[in-house]
């Protein structure tokens, strides 16, 4: 297997857009293509994530539409992948193997979503189709509901009083909003306080509005190339060191959902392939769809012991200047969560960090970075480790 590098990245502003998903993807992809010093005709395949283009815009089979919009010709395969909120990362992992295998030299990957179009209430119900439809989602197990249950279990399992847990969860939102201020592409560029969170309206007890990430519009794209091609195209190749993906079924088949087993499996695969361990990671963009989710990820990715996530947070260890910078982009919470694009947006940030191009939110001397993307009810998890 050949080494694979990222040679170009692009991302739209995340937020609320009146552009179509195809237009947003084209914008991000053209930026990534220009950033790669190639042209659209050099691309040999496209893999893109999208979650609910049909409900959002009546648009399925979006991949060839995007390929065509970019001027890519008939003989370029274009594939849409869907793994709920992890779709973008699933696409990057597919793109990786086509280059690593030697089959392609240059491949475009990314994702797009216009998640705001439905409005939050309808979107919450619609997006819950990523849960099990037979026994779970129809009885009200939306994503806020599921993560609220997880927060309650977490509180009980580790003996952390709910008042205290809520305050610590709020600190996740405070940190990520603080980071988002320094990210010109973030949806929210405004600091908040613990009180902002605790005074916001209740969504699914104990999760309040500011414990929840928004539904966002946006797209992101990256260009992958073989090591040989990458060295011709850029002085700053960022390598994919390891990839991992895990799966889990409906919640009723998962045990102790304070542990996300699909993530633990995916991360283990990625670490093993990269020959790295959690201590080696300098910066991580992880799936903070809810504040409790960030705490779970600290532990599931091996950065901190199980049950110790909130201590790490309290000690500032996940700040940009901490032991491991978590969500310097602002994360899903502040940068925004353009569902099918989220994994690619995470990759955008990590590559930018490893290139040292992040200005006020730069993690100094970052050598290894990781993305962590979760889809459905803890059902799809993708972890990718990048390095320079």
List the one residue from 221, 262, 274, 297 that touches its own copies (CB under 8 A): 262
Q: Residue 322: name the closest of 281, 350, 352 by CA.
A: 281
Determine the Cα–Cα distance for residues 215 and 137; give it in Å rounded to an integer: 19
Binding region for its own copies (CB under 8 A) out of 75-83, 205-213, 216-224, 325-333: 75-83
Residues in contact with its own copies, total (CB under 8 A)?
A: 66
Instruction: Work out whether 264 is an interface residue with its own copies (CB under 8 A).
Output: yes
Instruction: Work out whether 261 is an interface residue with its own copies (CB under 8 A).
Output: yes
350 CB neighbour count, 10 Å cutoff: 29
Instruction: Work out whether 227 is an interface residue with its own copies (CB under 8 A).
Output: no
Residue 374 main-chain phi, psi, to 5 deg = -115, 140
The residues annotated as belonging to the active site are: 85, 337
List the one residue from 3, 30, 55, 317 that touches its own copies (CB under 8 A): 55
CB 143 within 8 A of CB 339: no
CB 133 within 8 A of CB 377: no
Strands 238-247, 4-11: pairing is antiparallel
∠ CA 120-298-382, rounded to 5°: 65
List the one residue from 37, 103, 205, 316 that touches its own copies (CB under 8 A): 103
CB 303 within 8 A of CB 150: no
Instruction: Work out whether 83 is an interface residue with its own copies (CB under 8 A).
Output: yes
Instruction: Work out whether 113 is an interface residue with its own copies (CB under 8 A).
Output: no
List the one residue from 247, 302, 307, 319 that touches its own copies (CB under 8 A): 247
Q: Closest distance between its own copies and the C-beta of residue 117, in Å?
A: 12
Determine the Cα–Cα distance for residues 334 and 137; give it in Å rounded to an integer: 27
Q: Who contacts 67 (Cβ-Cβ below 8 Å, separation ≥6)? A: 46, 76, 78
Instruction: Work out whether 150 is an interface residue with its own copies (CB under 8 A).
Output: no
Q: Which of residues 269-288 bind its own copies (CB under 8 A)?
A: 269
The 127-146 site mask, x for binding its own copies (CB under 8 A), equals: --xx-xxx--xx--------
List the one residue from 149, 268, 276, 388 that touches its own copies (CB under 8 A): 268
Q: Residue 78: name the closest of 55, 48, 114 by CA.
A: 48
91 CB neighbour count, 10 Å cutoff: 34
Q: Which residues bind its own copies (CB under 8 A)?
A: 1, 20, 22, 46, 51-52, 54-55, 57-61, 63-65, 67-69, 72-84, 90, 93-94, 97-98, 100-103, 129-130, 132-134, 137-138, 245-250, 253, 261-262, 264-266, 268-269, 375-376, 379-380
């Amino acid at each position: 297997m050949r080494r694979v590098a990222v040679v170009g990245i692009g991302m739209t502003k995340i937020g609320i857009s009146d552009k179509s998903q195809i237009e947003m993807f084209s914008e991000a992809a053209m930026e990534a293509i220009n950033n790669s010093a190639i042209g659209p005709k050099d691309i040999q395949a496209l893999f893109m994530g999208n979650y609910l283009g049909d409900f959002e815009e009546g648009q399925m089979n979006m991949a060839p539409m995007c390929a065509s919009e970019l001027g890519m010709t008939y003989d370029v395969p274009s594939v849409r992948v869907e793994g709920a909120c992890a779709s973008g990362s699933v696409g990057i992992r597919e793109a990786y193997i086509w280059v690593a295998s030697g089959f392609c030299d240059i491949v475009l990957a990314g994702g797009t979503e216009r998640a705001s179009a439905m409005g939050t209430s309808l979107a919450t119900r619609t997006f819950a189709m990523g849960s099990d439809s037979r026994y779970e989602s129809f009885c009200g197990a939306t994503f806020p509901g599921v993560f609220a249950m997880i927060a309650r279990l977490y509180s009980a399992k580790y003996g952390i009083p709910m008042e205290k847990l809520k305050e610590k969860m709020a600190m996740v939102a405070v940190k990520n909003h603080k980071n988002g201020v320094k990210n010109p592409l973030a949806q929210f560029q405004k600091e908040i306080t613990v009180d902002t969170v605790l005074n916001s309206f209740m969504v699914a007890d104990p999760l309040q509005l500011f414990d929840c990430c928004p539904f966002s519009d946006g797209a992101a794209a990256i260009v992958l190339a073989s090591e040989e091609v990458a060295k011709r195209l850029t002085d700053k190749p960022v390598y994919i060191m390891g990839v991992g993906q895990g799966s889990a079924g409906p919640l009723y088949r998962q045990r102790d959902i304070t542990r996300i087993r699909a993530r633990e499996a995916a991360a283990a695969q990625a670490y093993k392939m990269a020959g790295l361990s959690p201590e080696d990671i300098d910066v991580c963009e992880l799936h903070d769809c809810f504040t409790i989710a960030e705490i779970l990820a600290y532990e599931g990715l091996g950065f901190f012991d199980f049950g110790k996530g909130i201590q790490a947070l309290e000690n500032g260890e996940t700040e940009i200047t901490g032991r491991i910078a978590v969500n310097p982009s602002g994360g899903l919470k502040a940068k925004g969560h353009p569902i099918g694009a989220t994994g690619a947006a995470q990759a955008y940030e990590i590559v930018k960090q490893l290139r040292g191009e992040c200005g006020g939110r730069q993690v100094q001397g970052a050598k290894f970075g990781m993305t962590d993307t979760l889809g459905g009810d803890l059902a799809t998890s993708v972890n990718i480790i990048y390095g320079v």
